[in-house]
Structure 1
Amino acid sequence: MTAPTTQPPSTETTPPLLTGEHWIETLNDGSHVLVRPIRPEDRERESHFIERLSPASRHFRFLGEIREANPALLDQLINVDYKKSMAFVALVHDNGELREVGVSRYSASGDDQHCECAVTVADDWQHRGLGVALMRHLIEVARHNGFRQMFSIDAASNEPMRDLAKYLGFDRKRDPQDAAQVIHTLDL
């Protein structure tokens, strides 16, 4: 796979909150992950992350069956502008390489007041508090960028997302257009 030609955004368009920043998060079990904004050079890492997810985790993330991310989907996932769209990745060292073990993202939805969010954690990194850490950073940046509400459309059967959303203070209601889905909303 070739590297994308997109260059990282200049610091003129990147909010000061994000310029060159990364965090080391200590999770509930004492393990550590590096969290930072996603970059174009994460394209292959993002592809491998999706491929390693269990079928159930991929289904919950994409609300459908997907085995691997096609180039157009990878473009959409990697190319963020740090204002209307944002993504954070969680990385760990695994056999001498950085491996993506989680990602949270939002994208503006129609207007600049609402954004849709998603969070995915690798199956072997779930139940450690990583989803909470990733979402807290995402919520902070969405507020900083002027969004008033964040929402997520999820499978009604996605219990981990239900529990995470409840923990973070999201409201939950059935999707009026699809009884198999729910909508979680958080006023920012």
Structure 2
Amino acid sequence: MSQLFPGAVVEPVELAETKGMVCIRTAGESDVESLSVYFTGLSTISRNKRFSGARTDLSVVAAECVAKSDRLDHFTLLAELRQEGQGRIIGEARYAYDEAVRHGEFAISVADAFHRMGLGLQMMTAMETRAIDLGHELIAAETARTNAEMRGLAKKAGFRDTGLGDWQSVHLAKRLSR
């Protein structure tokens, strides 16, 4: 994709607010520590929204995110900000395909300082593109009814409320097409 960013899954972009390039790439085993640092750096509210509740075992969560990276239908994408030759994770999207229900499920987070810059939508688009390339036709997620940010992002990305949620959650889905 890019000589400067060999692992990029989409063309790297410059976010004006960051004074650096953002590369969206596939996570690997060498990213566990950096991903753990990223999760730790999220605000308590953002961590609770991402994990649907409090989590303290963030290094275990980070390891789980990359554990199945050798399988095509399970992957984690990272948004990495590169400034002055240094990289740091500022977003992640985890995707897993469930053969039994024949759709992919995802979870996503963006570092608090990078909210409302379009990064979440770029990550979702990259994730969807990869799922389409794998031949998947439906992608879904569940979020808390109170998570207005995720619901807004999902709506912007073309997801709809399936009505399958309960009084606390919303189930979102989108048909994928080429």
Rounded to whole Å, the distance in 2 between the matches of 1:156 and 1:171 is: 13
Q: Deviations over 1:16-66 (max 9, x none)?
A: xxxx54131234747531111111100001100110001110011000111
Give secondary structure in 1 for the equivalent of 2:155: helix
User: Does 1:127 find its partner at 2:120?
Assistant: no
What amino acid is the match of 2:32? R
Partner of 1:64: 53
C-alpha distance in 1 between matches for 2:58 and 2:106: 18
Aligned residues: 167
1:180 aligns with one of 143, 168, 174: 168
Could you say which residue in structure 2 is the equivalent of 1:35?
Answer: 24
| Unaligned runs of at least 5 residues, structure 1 | 1-19
Matched, 1:49 2:38: yes
CA, structure 1 residues 153+112, in 2 after alignment: closer, same or farther (shift >3 Å)? closer
Match of 2:3 in 1: none
Alpha carbons 1:84, 1:112 under 8 Å: kept:
no
- Is contact 1:51-1:68 (8 Å) kept? no
Which residue is equivalent to 2:125?
136
Distance 1:28 1:175, change over 3 A: farther
The letter for the 1-side match of 2:173 is T
Range with greater deviation from structure 2 (112-121 or 49-58): 112-121
Which one-letter code corresponds to 1:100 in the other structure? I
Residue 10 of structure 2 corresponds to residue 25 of structure 1: no
Matches within 5 A, 1:148-187: 148-176=137-165, 178-187=166-175
Q: 1:30 to 1:68 in 2, by over 3 A?
A: same
Identity of aligned residues (%): 26
Give the direction of change, closer, same or farther, for the CA distance of 1:100–1:125 in structure 2 (3 Å limit): same
* TM norm structure 1: 0.80
Paired with 2:54 and 2:106, the residues of 1 have a C-alpha distance of 19
Amino acid in structure 1 at the alignment position of 2:175: D
| Two-structure CA RMSD over aligned residues (Å) | 2.1
